[in-house]
């Protein structure tokens, strides 16, 4: 037990350190830097949601960007009509939750690649609707001028306050996800991923669990969308196309699917790497995609997998003894 | 035992028929299983054991006939509903959740039977089941493996975990699918002893499908022999051992 | 009526090319459990190799075609399999999906950066003159595309069913473990599958690029349509990919002409969702077993 609580203490220390870094880092930095960090937090939320659906529950979804879209457009339309951001949030979340449930139905019938295709088609359909229904969404011209929220005397108009506002929401979202993953629900999600037939035979209603995995994951996508509207203050359908769903999927896989902090690392890599490669101009996407391929060949379980392997080397776990390999301890 | 308990079989199979294409895999099989029995279902390859087993488990709705558990018709029932009714089962292959610890595996087996969906979300992480799970783990002498990932266990150990999972929700009936398959002798003896002990301690009814004769003969209180989809013999292990029809079925064509 | 015939035939011609792409996609899926999300780019790229042959290496058109074919088959068949599929496949389908997506981006951006972002004209293999067929003005090119594609499909089917190698490939697709025991060189059969896919994609590229012009972004829609065609038709067999491709080509054309241009792209998507939910084995596919 000693080793476990030590491990737990290290982890807590790490989280506090990261939180402190997140709070202190943007101070005194240029606006663009703060903007990128805000963007990182928002995409980390979207990736968290997808991580629940894909990493924990094992359901592949290529539609996360379309839920960001639903959240973003709901927030945009409502705040443009004068509603406060806080009022638009539950509407967007509820909408995404319900649509997410609907998207979960195909998942009951098909798995794996087929499910990937269905969600991909869904994402593209949402894009088409956003692009074509100009009367509602502004079509390809999009919507602009959405206000940043105000909380009494605290205005998020400037980059830095908006960043802290986003950080606050992200921490709450992460706590919420942590609660879900640690609860029996989280155990049921993992069971669904690892052995759905066995899970079903133990009384787990796999249908319900699948739908929930989609609905909750989608709601997180919606939350991310609700934040992106005030961040960029201009949204158009192109920002939520298939390519963006793939980006979010990439964040989950690069960070490490099924690991709690994977999305944060993955989002950081996917968002920061292009910034770092910016100097290569036209070639950055080429280098970027090549790097992704290389990473997947050598570390398919994601970057957290690397940490895991390092940890194994530095703190080796109790090995199963050779004589135990063949039997339980008999009297 | 009261008359009521005697008259109500835990499992009742009535005239079950199942065909695939032109092949009649199960032909009008009927039997009852009483509370506390350890029933063995044996037969040569192609006898229809597995098909019958799947019909009982609701995986395959029978073409004709009825399967009831504690008086309720379970034909075509979803596995999770059947489990909620008090039926547990073990699997031949891939029976554990490999990336979860042994403890988590067993807690999962019990959590769906405790509380409501919401209480499972807002309640404690282990649904209050740690003690109970640890008791079962101790029963199977797996305490030292409590925090190991189930996928890293040996095959025999996984089978023990599988059985523990089947027992966790306190079922009235447990169906064991070839529990002895691929398990080494020492582990097998331990496994058999534990199963027998559980049966005596809790009065749980078992139905065992098995090829391993020795295992079946020493564990089961009653045996039913299937051949070519029909019951050809029924009785105690001793009776079956010396039954000529059975011997012929195994040695014959 | 004559307009309808025109739209129909033109749709069939496009659909036949989609079918080639869908067939390759299906083959690779069957034989190697690989869903290639870069399939569209596999069709976009060979045209660029040809252009490189003509404009950078000064080769004649037909030699450039050959050059493009060889480079494509090696790069998109052999190298793809060895460097990407083989290392990643054991780690799961999702990882491979992402890897092929990344590959798609890599190929697309490479074409854009190394060759050019503007659409490049691509010489037609055949003249596009309209000929009169039952009163409709039908492009000769369309007819020839249709004929060639169908011809290739027939040849491929014959190859798979009548030759020893083809039957070994089928065995590998159905049950690699058993095939191995029976002495089939499974690794080589899988390699052949990838090579054939590259060849099919190349042929599709040569047939379709004259119409769309060579542009780095060609792969996006083509890839999606290939998957949809394969699934709608039936993932189990080549016939399915053929049926799917033709169907989508025709329906797409009909929709654009008679119904709506804006939501034209929605049709294949809705079809995909409907088929997956209602009849996941596809229109022509069988629900049991796999067949190449």
Q: What is the pLDDT of residues C173-226, one digit of tens each?
A: 878 888 888 888 888 888 999 999 999 999 999 998 888 888 888 888 888 888
Handedness of CA A167, A170, A175, A178 (dihedral sign): negative
Q: What CATH number is attached to the domain comprising C217?
A: 1.10.3470
Residue A206 near chain B (CB below 8 Å): yes
Chain centroid to Cα B210, Å, comes to: 10
In a domain, C292, yes or no: no
| Angstrom distance (rounded) from CA C157 to CA B149 | 48
In a domain, C174, yes or no: yes
Q: What is the mean pLDDT of residues B15-20?
A: 88
Note whether B186 contacts A327, CB cutoff 8 Å: yes
Q: Please count the residue pairs, one from chain A and one from chain C, whose beta carbons lie less than 8 angstroms apart.
A: 106
Interface of A with C in 241-300 (CB under 8 A): 246, 249-250, 253, 257, 282-283, 285-286, 288-290, 292-293, 296-297, 300
Asked if residue C100 lies in contact with residue C32, where contact means CB atoms within 8 angstroms, the answer is no
| Angstrom distance (rounded) from CA A281 to CA C145 | 40
Of A204, A330, A331, the CB nearest to B80: A204
Task: Please report where in the chains the tokens 């909620």 appear, as a residue.
Answer: B84
Asked if residue B190 lies in contact with residue B141, where contact means CB atoms within 8 angstroms, the answer is yes
Note whether A182 contacts B144, CB cutoff 8 Å: no
Each residue's pLDDT tens digit in chain A (331 positions)?
A: 444 555 678 878 888 888 998 899 888 888 899 999 999 999 999 999 999 999 899 888 999 999 999 999 999 999 999 999 999 999 999 999 999 998 888 888 877 777 888 898 899 899 999 998 888 888 888 898 888 998 888 888 888 999 999 999 999 999 999 999 999 999 999 999 999 999 999 999 999 999 999 999 999 999 999 999 999 999 999 899 888 998 899 899 888 888 899 999 999 988 988 888 878 777 878 888 888 888 888 887 778 777 666 766 666 654 444 333 333 433 3
Tell me how close the Cα of C44 comes to any Cα of chain A, in angstroms. Answer: 16
Residue A319 near chain B (CB below 8 Å): no
Of C35, C92, C99, the CB nearest to A293: C99
What are the φ and ψ backbone dihedral angles of A154, each rounded to 5 degrees? -90, 110
Asked if residue A288 lies in contact with residue A60, where contact means CB atoms within 8 angstroms, the answer is no
In a domain, C291, yes or no: no
Max CA distance (Å), chain A? 77
Residue A52 near chain B (CB below 8 Å): no
Note whether B107 contacts A203, CB cutoff 8 Å: no
Task: Please report where in the chains the tokens 């019990």 appear, as a residue.
Answer: B110
**pLDDT averaged per 10 residues in sequence order, chain C, 292 residues:** 81 90 88 85 93 87 90 94 88 82 90 86 77 72 86 90 87 83 86 93 91 84 85 80 90 84 84 83 66 39
Residue A320 near chain B (CB below 8 Å): yes
Q: Please count the residue pairs, one from chain A and one from chain B, whose beta carbons lie less than 8 angstroms apart.
A: 119
Using beta carbons and an 8 Å cutoff, which residues of C are at the interface with A? 29, 35, 83-84, 87-88, 91-95, 97-99, 101-103, 105-106, 109-110, 112-113, 224, 227-228, 231, 262-263, 265-266, 269-270, 272-273, 276-277, 280
Interface of A with C in 10-69 (CB under 8 A): 54, 60
In a domain, C134, yes or no: no
Residue-averaged pLDDT of chain C: 85
Asked if residue C218 lies in contact with residue C13, where contact means CB atoms within 8 angstroms, the answer is no
Asked if residue A162 lies in contact with residue A148, where contact means CB atoms within 8 angstroms, the answer is yes
Residue A325 near chain B (CB below 8 Å): yes
Model pLDDT for residues B85-137, shown as the tens digit of each residue: 999 999 988 789 999 999 999 999 999 998 888 888 888 888 889 999 999 99
- Nearest residue of chain A to residue C110 (CA atoms): A286
Structure letter (DSSP) for residue A203: T
CA angle A142, A144, A147 (to 5 degrees): 145
Asked if residue B37 lies in contact with residue B208, where contact means CB atoms within 8 angstroms, the answer is no
Give the pLDDT score at A12.
85
Note whether A113 contacts C97, CB cutoff 8 Å: yes
CA angle C119, C123, C125 (to 5 degrees): 135
Q: Which residues of B touch A208 (CB under 8 A)?
A: 117
In a domain, C1, yes or no: no
In a domain, C283, yes or no: no
Note whether B111 contacts A206, CB cutoff 8 Å: no
In a domain, C109, yes or no: yes
Residue A183 near chain C (CB below 8 Å): no
Note whether A330 contacts B160, CB cutoff 8 Å: no
Handedness of CA C48, C53, C57, C59 (dihedral sign): negative
Chains B and C touch (3+ CB pairs under 8 A): no
DSSP one-letter string for C11-38? HHHHHHHHHHHHHHHHHHHHHH----TT
Note whether B79 contacts A185, CB cutoff 8 Å: no
| Angstrom distance (rounded) from CA C292 to CA C93 | 20
Chains B and A touch (3+ CB pairs under 8 A): yes
Residue A122 near chain C (CB below 8 Å): yes
SS (H, E, C) chain B: CCHHHHHCCCEEEEEEEEEECCEEEEEEEEEEECCCCEEEEECCCCCCHHHHHHHHCCCCCCCEEEEEECCEECCCCCHHHHHHCCEEECCCCCCCCCCCEHHHHHHHHHHCCCCCHHHHHHCCCCCCCHHHHHHHHHHCCCHHHCCCEHHHCCHHHHHHHHHHHHHHCCCCEEEEECCCCCCCHHHHHHHHHHHHHHHHHHCCEEEEECCCHHHHHHHCCEEEEEECCEEEEEECHHHHHCCHHHHHHHHCC
Q: C touches which chains (3+ CB pairs under 8 A)? A: A
Q: Which residues of C touch A283 (CB under 8 A)?
A: 109, 113
Model pLDDT for residues B136-182, shown as the tens digit of each residue: 999 999 999 999 999 999 999 999 999 999 999 999 999 999 999 88
Residue range(s) defining the domain that contains residue C144? 9-126+139-278
Of C95, C106, C228, the CB nearest to A300: C95
Task: Please report where in the chains the tokens 């399999």 appear, as a residue.
Answer: C81
- Spell out the domains of chain A, with CATH numbers in brackets: 31-314 (1.10.3470)
Note whether A201 contacts B79, CB cutoff 8 Å: yes
Of the candidates B50, B47, B53, B46, the one whose C-alpha atom is nearest the C-alpha of residue B31 is B53
Q: What's the total number of domains in chain C?
A: 1
In a domain, C22, yes or no: yes
CB atoms within 10 A of CB C49: 23
Residue B96 near chain A (CB below 8 Å): yes
What are the φ and ψ backbone dihedral angles of A58, each rounded to 5 degrees? 75, 20
**Residue A135: which residues within 8 A CB-CB, separation 6 or more?**
none
CB atoms within 10 A of CB A10: 12
The two structure tokens encoding residue A94:
């509820």
Residue B49 near chain A (CB below 8 Å): no
């Amino acid at each position: 037990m000693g080793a476990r609580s030590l491990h737990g203490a290290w982890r807590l220390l790490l989280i506090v350190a990261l939180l402190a870094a997140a709070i202190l880092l943007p101070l005194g930095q240029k606006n663009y830097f703060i903007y990128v960090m805000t963007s990182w937090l928002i995409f980390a939320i979207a990736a968290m949601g997808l991580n629940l659906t894909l990493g924990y529950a094992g359901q592949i979804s290529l539609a996360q960007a379309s839920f960001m879209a639903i959240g973003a457009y709901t927030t945009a339309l409502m705040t443009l009509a004068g509603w406060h951001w806080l009022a638009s949030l539950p509407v967007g979340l509820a909408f995404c939750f319900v649509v997410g449930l609907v998207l979960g139905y195909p998942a009951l019938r098909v798995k794996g690649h087929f499910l990937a295709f269905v969600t991909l088609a869904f994402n593209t359909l949402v894009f088409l609707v956003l692009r074509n229904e100009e009367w509602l969404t502004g079509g390809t011209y999009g919507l602009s001028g959405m206000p940043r929220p105000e909380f009494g005397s605290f205005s998020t108009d400037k980059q830095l306050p908006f960043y802290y506002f986003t950080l606050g929401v992200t921490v709450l979202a992460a706590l919420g996800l942590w609660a879900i993953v640690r609860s029996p629900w989280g155990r049921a999600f993992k069971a669904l991923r690892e052995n759905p037939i066995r899970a079903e035979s133990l009384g787990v209603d796999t249908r319900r669990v699948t739908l929930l995995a989609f609905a909750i994951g989608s709601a997180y996508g919606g939350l991310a969308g609700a934040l992106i509207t005030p961040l960029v203050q201009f949204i158009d359908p192109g920002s939520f196309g298939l390519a963006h769903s793939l980006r979010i999927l990439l964040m989950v896989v690069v960070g490490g699917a099924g690991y709690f902090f994977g999305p944060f690392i993955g989002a950081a890599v996917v968002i920061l790497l292009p910034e770092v490669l910016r100097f290569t101009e036209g070639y950055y996407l080429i280098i970027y995609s090549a790097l992704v391929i290389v990473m997947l060949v050598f570390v398919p379980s994601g970057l957290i997998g690397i940490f895991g392997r390092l940890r194994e080397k530095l703190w080796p776990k109790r090995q199963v003894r050779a004589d135990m390999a063949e039997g339980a301890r008999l009297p | 035992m009261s008359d009521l308990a005697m008259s109500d079989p835990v499992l009742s199979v009535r005239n079950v028929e199942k065909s695939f294409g032109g092949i009649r895999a199960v032909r009008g099989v009927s039997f009852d299983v009483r509370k506390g029995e350890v029933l063995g279902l044996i037969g040569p390859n192609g006898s229809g054991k597995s098909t019958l087993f799947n019909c009982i488990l609701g995986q395959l709705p029978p073409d004709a006939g009825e399967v009831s558990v504690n008086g309720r018709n379970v034909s075509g029932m979803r596995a999770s509903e059947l489990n909620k009714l008090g039926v547990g089962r073990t699997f031949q292959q891939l029976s554990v959740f490999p990336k979860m610890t042994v403890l988590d595996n067993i807690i999962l087996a019990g959590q769906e039977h405790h509380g409501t969906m919401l209480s499972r979300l807002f309640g404690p992480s282990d649904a209050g089941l740690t003690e109970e799970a640890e008791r079962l783990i101790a029963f199977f002498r797996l305490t030292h493996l409590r925090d190991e990932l189930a996928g890293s266990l040996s095959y025999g150990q996984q089978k023990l975990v599988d059985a523990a999972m089947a027992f966790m929700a306190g079922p009235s009936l447990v169906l064991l699918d070839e529990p002895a398959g691929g398990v080494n002798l020492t582990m097998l003896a331990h496994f058999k002893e534990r199963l027998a002990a559980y049966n005596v301690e809790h009065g749980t009814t078992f139905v065992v499908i098995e090829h391993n004769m020795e295992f079946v003969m020493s564990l089961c209180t009653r045996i039913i022999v299937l051949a070519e989809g029909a019951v050809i013999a029924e009785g105690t292990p001793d009776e079956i051992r010396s039954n000529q029809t059975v011997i012929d079925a195994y040695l014959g064509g | 009526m004559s307009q309808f015939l025109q739209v129909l035939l033109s749709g069939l011609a496009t659909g036949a090319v989609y079918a080639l792409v869908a067939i390759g996609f299906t083959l690779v899926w069957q034989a190697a459990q690989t869903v290639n999300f870069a399939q569209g780019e596999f069709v976009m790229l060979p045209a660029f190799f040809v252009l490189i042959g003509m404009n950078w290496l000064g080769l004649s058109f037909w030699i450039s075609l050959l050059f493009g074919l060889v480079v494509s088959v090696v790069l998109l068949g052999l190298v793809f399999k060895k460097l990407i599929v083989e290392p990643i496949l054991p780690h799961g389908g999702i990882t491979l999906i992402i890897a092929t997506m990344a590959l798609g981006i890599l190929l697309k951006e490479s074409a854009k950066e190394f060759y050019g972002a503007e659409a490049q004209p691509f010489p037609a293999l055949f003249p596009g003159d309209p000929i009169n067929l039952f009163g409709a003005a039908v492009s000769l090119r369309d007819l020839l595309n249709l004929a060639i594609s169908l011809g290739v499909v027939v040849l491929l089917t014959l190859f798979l069913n009548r030759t020893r190698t083809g039957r070994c490939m089928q065995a590998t697709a159905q049950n690699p473990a058993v095939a191995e025991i029976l002495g089939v060189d499974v690794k080589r059969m899988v390699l052949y599958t990838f090579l054939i896919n590259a060849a099919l994609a190349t042929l599709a590229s040569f047939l379709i690029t004259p119409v769309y012009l060579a542009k780095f972004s060609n792969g996006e829609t083509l890839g999606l349509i290939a998957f949809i065609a394969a699934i709608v038709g039936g993932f189990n067999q080549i016939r399915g990919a053929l049926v799917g491709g033709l169907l989508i080509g025709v329906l797409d054309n009909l929709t654009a002409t008679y119904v709506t241009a804006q939501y034209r792209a929605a049709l294949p998507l809705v079809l995909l969702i409907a088929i997956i939910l209602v009849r996941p084995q596809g229109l022509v596919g069988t629900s049991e077993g796999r067949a190449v």
